[in-house]
Each structure stands twice: as C-alpha cells, then as structure tokens.
Copies of this chain bind each other. A is one copy, B any other.
Amino acid sequence: MTTLNKVTAAHVAALREITGEKNVLVDEESLDRYAHDETEDLHYLPEVVVKPETTEQVSKIMQLCQRELLPVTPRGGGTGLSGGALAQFGGVLISMEKFNHILDIDERNLQVTTEPGVITEVLQNAVKEKGLFYPPDPSSRGTCFIGGNIAENSGGPKAVKYGVVKDYVLNLEMVLPSGEVIWTGANVLKNATGYNLTQLVVGSEGTLGIVTKIVLKLIPLPKHDLLMLVPFRSAESACAAVSAIFRAGYTPSAMEFMERDALDWVSQFVQSSTVQIPDDIQAHLLIEVDGNYPEVLMQEMEGIAGIVEGFDIGEILFAEDSTQKDELWKLRRRVAEAVKANSVYKEEDTVVPRAELPVLLKGVKDIGRKYGFHSVCYGHAGDGNLHVNIIRGELTEEQWNGTLTEGIREIFQLVKQLNGTISGEHGIGLVQKNYLDIVFDSTSMNIMKQIKQIFDPNNILNRGKIFDC
C-alpha cells in the first residue's frame, strides 16, 4: 500500500491559496471539533480541516493531496454511526459544510438539484413548501447532510413505503481522487446507458470520490397521515405482527419497533409523559399510514388495528392531532440519544427479511445472555432493520473490546443465516469492517477492492473505511 505523508506548513499554505485563509483550520480546538462523529467514543484528530466552497476548489485540493500523497477524509454533518467521516490517518479533512445551497427545485420535473452540505431537514422543508416530498430522513435529519446520506445510503422511518436514498438519486457530480470531475448519470427516471456509476457511488461511504452536486427525484407530498402506537406483551410477537400487516396487503408509511427499554429511556430523557407503559408491556410498534384520502387512511388504520389485535396487545394509542403525532415521533427519533445518555454503547445495524425479525430478536437476546451483555433494540421493523444497541453497563475493558467482538460476530452470523446483512443504513466505516467477511466471500471482496483502486489507486481517499486495501 502506498505510504502517505504528513501535512506540512507548505501544504497548509497551499490549501489556504485554494480556499482562502478563513476556510483552513489548524488550531487544536477546531481540529478537535472534527475528531468525532456519533459512533461510540471514537476520536481521531485530522492535521488540517479545509472547507471548500466550490467544485473547482475540491478538485484543486484533491490534486494537491494526490500529488503530495496526503490522506483525505470527506465529512458531512458528522452524525455518522460507523466512523466513516473520521480522519483515522490524520491528514486533510474536507468538511463539506459550505456546500449548503439548494440550487434548483424543478417543479416541472419533480426534481431537486442540491449541494451535499444541505441539512436533510432543510431540504425536506424547502421542497415541502412546493408540495413536494423527499422521503428519506434519518433520525439525525436536523443535523445530518444530504451528502452524508448519499455516502451511507441512508434510510429512516419512511423507507418502508418510499424506499431509501438510492431510490431517489438520479445523478451526481463527483470529484475523483485525481481531481477530475464527472457526472455519474443523467437526470432521468429510467436509465439503461452503461454501468450504473450513480448506484455504485451511493453507499460507497466517501471512498470513491467527493460528491459536489446531487440531483434527486421528488414525489408529490401526501396530504394526510395517521399514527398509532401499539403496545405488545411480547417483543417477539410485535415483530411477528409486522410481517402479518404486510401480508394482509397494507403498506404503512412507517412501522417502527421499540423495545420496552427504548421507549422507557427516551420518555425519561425528554421528560415526556405522553406514553404510560404498563408493567406487562415489552415492546411497541409505531405505525403510520399516509395518503391523500382521509377516509381511506381511516379504513387502513382500522384494518391494521384488526390485525395487531390478534397479537396479545395492550391499549392502542391513536394520535389525536399533529401535536401528539409530533410528540410520538420525537420519542422515536430521540431513542438513540437517550441510549447514549444512559451508557456507552455499540450499535449494530442488522437487517433481515422482515418476517425473520422474531428469530433475529430472540437470537440477539440468547447471544446476549451467553456473552453477558444487555441490549436495547429498536428500529425500522417494516424493513427488517433492527438496531441492536449493546449497552456497556458494567462490562470490563476486556469484555467490551475483547470477548464482545465474538458476540457481535455471532449476531452477524445469525443475520447472514437469515439472508440478511450487517448494515441496513449506517454503513461499514471503521467499526464494522472486521465483520465484512461474514457476508462477502473473498471473490466479492476482491472485486470491491479493485473497484476502489480504479477510482483511487493510491488509496488517499477515506483510507481504511469499509475495508483495507
């Protein structure tokens, strides 16, 4: 592997030449702000942070780093959950925060062209004002960047009905590690023209290039929605209900699962008394339907309620108004923060075919008992995407960074047996790469590594993310 160099004063001066003085940071306090994301307790200091404002500047920075063989780490909002935006090898961290302009909302074609540093929720609200909808929204939507969402192929609660980021990306402008700039596709809904470079880049975790412009498909905004919270006396039966709802022909716009602890902890964390959880309740499903016809939504809610009633549930809470809906969504969206506030934890982003969820959940608990860890599980059950939060609690350093690794491996082996995979929406980044052999054989791994080499022969860009090569 090519040996990369340290950043020198001359490099810093060259970066300042490219982006202007104010967009290059080297003081320790600033560097520290870019040294972590939302993944566990990782900390990697970059040597310099640069904040380009144009595609041309990104290109020049990449040319400099290529020539000087400097490690480059691209970074969005810093909300990642796999360490993808961390400068593991120091070097130059490129923060895309100044690429924060929505360039064109094309109402004629239901498309938006945006820069990658726009906050996802800002983008969603801007198109909403035009009656349009960009569905993928991670829990971090208030702070994450749309560019980061593309790097991780993010999902969020609406994915179950509307799909994930990859289903909305039509075309990307991207700066390659060589500094060359390409567009990956065209602004069209159907494309059978050459290999799908757009889809190769989506989910590639910033290892192939730096995206500088994004063209997204939009859809008409549904006019109405209804929300209900269903308490279950068994977590496994909650998971079983998920599959039953889909088999009955319903496609909810959200179908979120929360174990008892998840809802309990978040209620305390945000000091909410919206939900009172009786002692015998072990899990909840938060179920939303949306569409343009209120009477249809009522029928669907009744149909779904009829199905879940067959699963030993408590009393269903139907959200009465938008305030209560917001309150319930706030609880769901802030579970991760609440867990984090409670303890250091590792989050596994397991995903399986949705009917296998009960088996997965039972397996996770069995493996937890075997290795002595407690887990809090929640996630996008409609997609079969279960976030397994392993709580550090009283585990020793050796257990936490030693034997637990084996426990996680067992969880992922189970996921693989169930025809699932080890990340649904968080990516592999730094923290899951040692498990990638569970789901890919060496032939597939070699193909991926060779693809990386095409784009980045010196491996300067986000080195060590997804895999070593």
Q: Name A's B-contacting residues (CB within 8 A).
A: 106-111, 131, 152-155, 159-160, 163-164, 166-167, 171, 176, 180, 182-197, 199-200, 202-204, 219-221, 243, 246-247, 249-251, 292-293, 296, 299, 349, 351-356, 380, 383-385, 416, 419-428, 436, 439-441, 443-444, 447-448, 450-451, 454-455, 466-467
Contact across chains for A425 and B200 when beta carbons are under 8 A apart: no
Minimal Cβ-Cβ distance residue in B for A352: B188
Q: A197: which of B423, B448, B466 is its contact (CB, 8 Å)?
A: B448
Q: How far is the CB of A80 from chain B (nearest CB, A)?
A: 11
A428: chain B residues at CB < 8 Å are 192-194
Contact across chains for A423 and B191 when beta carbons are under 8 A apart: yes
Contact across chains for B249 and A131 when beta carbons are under 8 A apart: yes
Given known contacts A195-B204, A424-B191, A184 and B444 CB-to-CB distance under 8 angstroms: yes
Q: How far is the CB of A424 from chain B (nearest CB, A)?
A: 4
A451: chain B residues at CB < 8 Å are 195, 451, 454
Assembly CA distance A197 to B354 (angstroms)? 22
In the complex, 19 of the A-B residue pairs with CB atoms within 8 angstroms, ordered by the A residue number, are: A109-B354, A109-B355, A159-B190, A163-B167, A166-B199, A180-B443, A186-B351, A188-B383, A189-B351, A189-B385, A190-B380, A190-B385, A192-B426, A192-B427, A192-B428, A194-B428, A195-B448, A249-B292, A293-B293
Contact across chains for A420 and B188 when beta carbons are under 8 A apart: yes
Contact across chains for B247 and A107 when beta carbons are under 8 A apart: yes
A176: chain B residues at CB < 8 Å are 443
Contact across chains for B193 and A422 when beta carbons are under 8 A apart: yes
